[in-house]
Amino acid sequence: MSVIWVRDKLTKHIRERKEDVKDTLLAGVKDMAQYEYLRGRYSSLVDVEMELRELLGRVIQDDQEDEQQGNST
């Protein structure tokens, strides 16, 4: 299982959850408490998505640095 496969699966899953929350918000909520809960959930999903991108960026950068060090020795 490659890092790219994992990234694609997680990104797709997060995107689907964000769409679900957005659809629920647009369909209407029962009360302000539900609205705040869904807003928080959406914000959390956005945060996870950004953290995933940053982490994978670091993994790719580390891999490239390791390759460069391996080629220079």
The per-residue pLDDT for range 23-42, each reduced to its tens digit, is 999 999 999 999 999 999 99
In a domain, 50, yes or no: yes
Residue pair 38/24 in contact (Cβ under 8 Å)? The answer is yes
Domain that holds residue 43: 33-68
Q: What is the pLDDT of residue 7?
A: 83
Q: Any idea what the Cα angle at residue 21 is, between residues 15 and 27, rounded to 5°?
A: 130
Contact 52, 17 (CB under 8 A): no
Total domains present in the chain: 1
- Residue 14, in any domain of the structure: no
For position 29, what pLDDT does the model report?
A: 94
- The CA distances from residue 45 to 2, 11, 53, 64, 72, in Å, are 23, 10, 12, 29, 41
Domain assignment present for 59: yes
Residue 4 lies in a domain: no
Q: Give pLDDT < 50 ranges for the chain.
A: none
Q: Is 63 contained in some domain? A: yes
